Amino acid sequence: MKRRDIIKGFTLLPLTSGAIAGTLNSALGSDETRAAQPQKLTNKSIYEPLGVRPLLNGGGTVTVVGASRVLPEVQKAMDGAVKEYVHLFELMDGVGRRLAELTGAESGCITPGASAAITAATAACITGGDPDKMWMLPDTRGMKDEVIIPAYSRTAYDAAARATGAKMVQVSTVEELRAAVGPKTAMVLVLGGALSRTGPLSVSVIAGVTKPMGIPIVVDAAAEGLEVPNPHLSQGADLVAYSGGKKLRGPQCSGLLIGRKDLIPAARINTGPHHGFGRGYKVGREEIMGLMAAVEMWFKRDMEAEAKQSAALVQNMASRLKNIPGLILTANAASLRISWDMEKIPLTGSDAERLLYDGNPRIVVSLSGSYLPFPPNLQPSISVNASQLEPGEDRIIADRIFTLMSNPPKLDKPSGNPSADLTGQWDLQIMFTASTVSHTFVIEQQGNKLVGTHYGSIGSRGLEGSIYGDDVLIRSSYSAGGARINYTFTGKIIAGELIGKLSLSEYGHAEWKATRHVYPPLLVR
């Protein structure tokens, strides 16, 4: 997905398990070894012996960079849980009762993440808790296997429902909802947010259609906190899924599912340690007790004080940066948006993100960059989320941004006339790590600019890019049906072919080659 090639920034260490152990012992057990290493974020990071650099998280509760900081009470609960054994079925029963008391829902269970909660909820709605049907998944023949989803709810997380074998049925209006409901409908999946509460296809509107038919509504509220009374259940939802590692500040690989007392057990048995379809969705006693501690603390935390601290960190950063010529600062709750005049600061947002990420200490900002599964940020702006920062880290980040924006580096920009006209159809081969597949480019060249269509395995998507001399850059993005596929092709024209590297965003890297399509000669009689 990303526009820049940072492959060289990641190093694979050719170490055997014994060598890794030796390296860990050396690095963690010797003050001399630590002192001899270059100063990074910390001299005692557990990650550095593996060649992995820690980072400052100015991106918020993003899973790929670690989500939230767990609460001290959560860590204490996890430490205590691993010291004793317990029967997980009994533990889950107790958890369900306590979650009911805390949240006001009829019951609840803990899963290995919000996505797993959605998978378990979908499996519950399809199978109804019938082991025969559970063991058939993802073969849903003979079952209710259609999941209706409002268009505004389509996201990459639809995959959690589709993992069961369910078929997604998208609707945009109440009329389309009524037409879609039928004997194959297993449930309705709704993404939490403003539209789910007050939009034309809100949960309450959907419930007016589906409740008389006994069709459950599942809400994906992964990034939300636990409100009591629960707004989604109050509107007519039957199950609600939350992330344990975001606002709750529990274990990152934990999730919460609350709702109807008949559907919760049906969801639970579609997760581990039960066998069958959901065996891989198991959660350990330490994560269970860690998330329970986080839920308990949710009702004890001083949210106002936490918000004030984040706002203060934002203001500290704004004060440090406010006098830089060409910079525009916008403070919003726990985040600071930084925009600039590219005539004075000739960097894109992606440039700034990369420079901060590649620096020392490593800093994550915004919601793009090679470290995140989002398209490149070509606008002159970045944002810093202060919700996961400790006091003092705001100063480090502000100082780095101040240095960067006060004296931006002169980055090499492509230039020169195109060495060829790429207009036409190209046969594209992509060499992934374990397969080679054929795609197609159809390109129209307008000076240095490239536009057109990229035809892939899942479908077609638009492309855009550039050509300067022999250097070619092509980007494409596919997002239909909630998919999130972003490709960035970089390469050169060599002997009439296009050859280069491909960034797959969160899915790694590949190599590619494209040759101009040769049309068969016309047969003339």
- The model's pLDDT over 206-259, given as tens digits with 9 standing for 90+, comes to 999 999 999 999 999 999 999 999 999 999 999 999 999 999 999 999 999 999
- Tell me: do 455 and 480 sit in the same domain: yes
468-485 mean pLDDT: 94
C-alpha neighbours within 13 Å on the C-beta side of residue 114: 26
One domain, residues 45 and 147: no
pLDDT score of 14 more than 70: no
pLDDT number for residue 17: 29
- Measure the CA dihedral 218/223/225/231, to 10°: -30
- Give whole-number Cα distances, 346 to 311, 381, 411, 466, 468, in Å: 29, 11, 9, 19, 19
Residue 42 has pLDDT above 90, yes or no: no
Q: Identify the band that residue 368 occupies on the pLDDT scale cut at 50, 70 and 90.
A: low
Task: Note down the domain range covering 395.
Answer: 7-66+304-406
In a domain, 522, yes or no: no
Higher pLDDT pick, 521 / 85: 85
- Considering the domain architecture, whether residues 163 and 27 belong to the same structural domain is answered as no
**Prior bond to 212 cis, omega within 30?**
no
The answer to whether position 162 is within a domain reads yes
Please indicate, yes or no, whether residues 230 and 248 belong to a single structural domain of this protein.
Answer: yes
Q: Is the pLDDT of residue 27 over 50?
A: no
Q: Is 122 in the same domain as 254?
A: yes
User: Which of 491, 432, 422 is closest to 457 using CA atoms?
Assistant: 432
pLDDT in tens, 100-145: 999 999 999 999 999 999 999 999 999 999 999 999 999 999 999 9
Q: Which of 283, 298, 313 is the last residue of a domain?
A: 298
- Give the chain's domain count: 3
* pLDDT at res. 5: 37
CATH number of the domain within which 252 lies: 3.40.640.10
Q: What is the dihedral of CA 435, 436, 438, 440, to 10 degrees?
A: 110
Residues 475 and 354 in one domain: no
- Tell me if residue 313 falls in helix, strand or coil: helix
User: Do residues 331 and 266 both lie within one domain?
Assistant: no
What value does the mean pLDDT take over residues 21-28?
32
Per-residue pLDDT band at 22 (split at 50, 70, 90)? very low
